[in-house]
Amino acid sequence: MAAPEVYSIADVPVTAYCFDSDRQNLAVSLSSNEAQILTRSGNDWKVTDTLSEHDKLITSIDWAPKSNLIVTASQDRNAYVWQQNQDPETGKVIWKPTLVAVRINRAATAVRWSPKEDKFAVASGARTVAICNFDEENNWWVSKHLKKPIRSTVLSIDWHPNNVLLAAGSADMKARVFSAYIKDVDKRPAATVWGEKLPFNTLCGEYNSPSGGWVHSVGFSPSGNVLAFASHDSSISIVYPEGPTVITVRSFSLPYVTLTWTAEDVLVAAGHDCQPVLFQGSEAGWKAVGSLDESSTGKSAIPNPSRTGAVGRLNSSAFNTFRDADTRGTRSVSSLNSPGGSNDTELMTIHQNTITSIRPYEYASNGEVSKVSTGGVDGKLVIWSTANVGALGSRLGGMKLR
Amino acid sequence: MADRAFRKIDVDIYDEDVLLDSELYDPDPRSADQILSDAKQKQATVRTHLSRGDTLTALSTVLDNAPYGMNVEEAKASPRTFEMWDSDLFIDIPGIVKSLDPELQDTLMKFIYKGMAMPGSNDISASVLLTWHEKLTEVAGTGCIVRVMTDRKTV
C-alpha cells in the first residue's frame, strides 16, 4: 500500500496548480499575482521560472498536456496564454505571454483547456463563461460569451470529452450544461445524451443543488454521459441526463469544494473536510466508499473523529478548553497557544486545511485514473493512489461514513 | 442638513439583472390554499398517530412535504410541531432520529433551528431543542447543519 506523496510547497494557500504532461513540472499560483513553474528535483520541487504579467491574484491555471501551453486566469479580469519560446538573443527558453480578449468586467474564477486544446473556457464573476479560441488572422485569442441563463458568478467549469459541451457550476445554486460550439473550430458533433442539435449557448441541462448551496465543482464522467457536481450544502449530486435521474449523496461532514472522476463509476471529492473521499455508484445509487486518507490513521494513535463517526472534525482540545472554562472556571487557553500544545490543534488528516483543488494525476493502462493530486489552503500538495481505498473497501464496508 | 431621502431609494428595482430571493429556489408546486388545507389535514393525521403512540410516523408526517418559502406563514404554523416534541412519548430520540429518511432529517434540523430562533415562545423549551439537536447531529453529522444554513426553502 503506497503512502500518499506529500509535498509542502508553500506556507500560503495553493490557489491553483496544474502539472505538465510528464508531471516533472508544475505551475502554481500561491495566493499571488505571479504563477511559478516548479520542477521536480529528487523529492522536492524547485522554482525554475516565474510567470508575471497579472496584476491581481491568479485564480486558476491549466497546462495543456499536448500543446504545452499554459493558460492563467486572474482577478484582474484577464487571461494569458503562455508559450514556451527560445529567446532569439540569449538562447534561453522563456515563457511568453499572449493576452486573451476575454472581455469580462469581473474577476475570472476558473479556466480550463478543452480536450482538443483548440479552445479554453474562462468562468467569471460577470455571470458569463468566455469560450476562447485562437484567431489566426489577427494572431490573438478571441472569445465568445455563454451568458443565458446564468444568474450569478460561475465558480467551476468542466469540458465534455467531445470538445463541444461545457458544464458550469454557479453561485446561483445551479449546475448547467451548455454547448460551446464554435463554428470555425469545431466539426459538427455527434449526438450525445445531452442533445443532438447544439448551436452555441444551447442549454442542455440545468440542475438545482439539492439544498440550495453554491455549486463549487462540476465534472463530466470519462464517457461524458454523466455529470457530477459538489455544492455547498454538503452534498454531491450525480446527474444521468436521460430521465433525468439526479442522485444526491448527502455528506455527513463539511461541504466538498472539488471533485474529479477516476472511472465511469467512481469519483473522488474533497473540500472543507480536508480529506479526499471516494464515491462509487451507478444509476441505481451512489455512496461514499471511504477516504483516501485512510492510510494515515494506522500511524496515528488517536482515531480521527470524522472517521469514527463523532461529530465533524471537532478538535477535542479546543472543546475541552472551553468546557473547562465553563464547568471548572479554568481560564487558561495556553494549551491552545503554547508550542508544546501545538500537536493538539493538528488535524488527523494529511491536509491541515481545506482542499481547494483535486485533479487526475496518473492514468492506469485501462484509462482509469490511478492517482489523483490535491492542493490545499495549507500549502500542501499531495498525490494519492485511488487504489488504496479500493483495497480498503471491504474493511470500510461496515463503517458508517456518509 | 441636505435631503437624505435619496438614500432610501431601492436602486435594485432599476437593475434588470437583479437576482431575487424567489429565484434562488423552486417554489412549492402547490397553491397557497392547497398547502394550507394539506397542513390542516396533516395535523389531524398527526394527532391520530400520536394518540396511538406511533411517534415515528407522526414525526415523519409533519416533516414530509413541510410547507416552505414565502406567503405560507399560516400553513407553516399549522401542525404544532414543537408542542409535540416536548411530549413524553419521545423517549427514544436517537432511535427515532436514526429511522428517519435522510431528507427528513434535514427538515427536522430546519425545525430545530426554527425553534431556536423563536426564544420565549411558550411551546418550546430550549433544553428539549438542544437534546434533539445533539441526537440529530450524532446521526446526520455537521453536513446536516450546513444544509440547513444554505437552504433557502425555510420551514
Q: Where are the domains of chain A?
A: 5-396
- Say how far apart CA A66 and CA A68 lie, in whole Å: 6
HSE, CB side, 13 Å, CA atoms: give it for residue B94: 4
Residue of B nearest to A152 (CA): B19
Distance from the Cα of A207 to chain B's closest Cα (Å) equals 11
pLDDT class of A307 with cuts at 50, 70, 90: very low
Distance CA A272, CA A243 (A): 32
> What is the structure's pLDDT at B87?
63
| pLDDT tier at B47, thresholds 50, 70, 90 | confident
Name the residue among A212, A251, A402 with its Cβ closest to that of B25.
A212
Please check whether residue A216 touches B, CB under 8 A: no
Which residues in chain A have their CB less than 8 angstroms from residue B142's CB?
234, 252-254, 311-312
Question: Which CA distances in Å does A338 have to A317, A320, A344?
Answer: 13, 16, 10
**Residue B87: left if φ>0, alpha if ψ -120 to 50, beta else—which one?**
beta
- Contact between A124 and A108 under an 8 Å Cβ cutoff? The reply is yes
What confidence score (pLDDT) does residue A303 get?
A: 37
Residue A319 has pLDDT above 80, yes or no: no
**What pLDDT, on a 0 to 100 scale, did the predictor assign at position B92?**
81
Find which of A139-153, A287-301, A332-346 is predicted with most confidence, using mean pLDDT.
A139-153
Average pLDDT over residues A363-392: 88
* Whether A208 and B23 lie within 8 Å, measured CB to CB: no
| Chain B residues with beta carbon closer than 8 angstroms to that of A252 | 140-143
List own/partner pairs for A134-138 with CB under 8 A and 24 or more apart: none
pLDDT at A57 over 90: yes
pLDDT band at residue A311, thresholds of 50, 70 and 90? very low
Encoded amino acid at A331, one letter: R
Q: What pLDDT sits at residue B88?
A: 63
Domain B31-150, CATH number (from 3.60.9.10, 1.20.1600.10, 1.25.40.190, 3.30.2270.10): 1.25.40.190
Residues of B in contact with A254 (CB under 8 A): 142-143, 146
Residue among A353, A354, A348, A349 nearest A384 (CA): A349
Pick among A106, A233, A399 to test the B interface (most B CBs inside 10 A): A233
Q: What is the pLDDT of residue A70?
A: 97
Interface of A with B in 154-183 (CB under 8 A): 172-173
Q: Is B152 left (phi over 0), alpha (psi -120 to 50) or beta?
A: alpha
Residue of B125 and A235 predicted with greater confidence: A235
Q: Please report which confidence band the pLDDT of residue A298 belongs to, taking 50, 70 and 90 as the band edges.
A: very low
What's the burial of A246, exposed, middle or buried (CB within 10 Å: 0-12/13-18/19+)?
Answer: middle
Interface residue ranges in chain B relative to chain A, Cβ cutoff 8 Å: 17, 19, 23-26, 102, 106, 137-138, 140-144, 146-148, 150-153
Å from A234 to nearest chain B CA? 5
* pLDDT tens figures, A1-16: 578 999 999 999 999 9
pLDDT of the residue at A91 = 85
Instruction: Return all residues near A306 (Cβ < 8 A) that are at least 6 apart.
Output: A253, A273, A275, A312, A313, A348, A349
Q: Centre a 10 Å sphere on the Cβ of residue A240 and count the other Cβ atoms it contains.
A: 16
In which band, very low, low, confident or very high, does the pLDDT at A88 lie, cut at 50, 70 and 90? confident
Q: Does A232 touch chain B (CB under 8 A)?
A: yes
| From the candidate CATH numbers 2.30.30.90, 1.20.210.10, 2.60.40.10, 2.130.10.10, the one assigned to the domain spanning A5-396 | 2.130.10.10
Q: Which residues pair with A371 in a beta bridge?
A: A362, A385
Residue numbers in B near A231 (CB within 8 A): 150
For the residues B87-111, what does the mean pLDDT come to? 86
Interatomic CA distance for residues A82 and B59, integer angstroms: 60
Higher-confidence residue of B122 and A389: namely A389
> Residue A347 has what pLDDT?
80
pLDDT number for residue A142: 94
| A254 in contact with chain B, both atoms CB, cutoff 8 A | yes
Mean per-residue pLDDT, A373-386 = 95
Give the span between the Cα atoms of A388 and A290, in whole angstroms: 10
Instruction: Give the residue from A105, A153, A174, A211 with the most B CB atoms within 10 Å of its CB, the best one to mutate.
Output: A211
Q: What is the DSSP letter of B110?
A: H
| Position A331 pLDDT exceeds 80 | no
Q: Is the pLDDT of residue A108 over 90?
A: yes
Beta strands in B21-139 (DSSP E): none
Predicted complex ipTM: 0.84
List the single range of A229-243, A253-267, B5-19, B130-144 with lowest mean pLDDT.
B5-19
Looking at beta carbons, which residues of chain B come within 8 Å of A152? 19
Among candidates B19, B25, B102 on the partner chain, residue whose Cβ is nearest the Cβ of A250? B102
Average pLDDT over residues A37-63: 95
Residue B1: its pLDDT value, please? 58
Asked whether the beta carbons of residue A402 and residue B142 sit closer than 8 angstroms, the reply is no
Grid coordinates representing A67?
500543446
CA-CA distances (angstroms) from residue B24 to A151, A208, A229, A355, B153?
9, 9, 17, 27, 9
Q: Measuring CA to CA, which residue among A148, A207, A201, A146 is closest to residue A176?
A: A207
Q: Which residues of B touch A212 (CB under 8 A)?
A: 24-25, 150-153
CA-nearest residue to A313 within chain B is B142
User: Please, what is the average pLDDT of chain A?
Assistant: 87
Contact at CB, A233 and B19, closer than 8 angstroms? no
To the nearest whole angstrom, how far is the Cα of A126 from the nearest Cα of chain B? 11
Residues of B within 8 A of A208 (CB-CB) are: 25-26
Contact by Cβ (8 Å): A113, A68: no
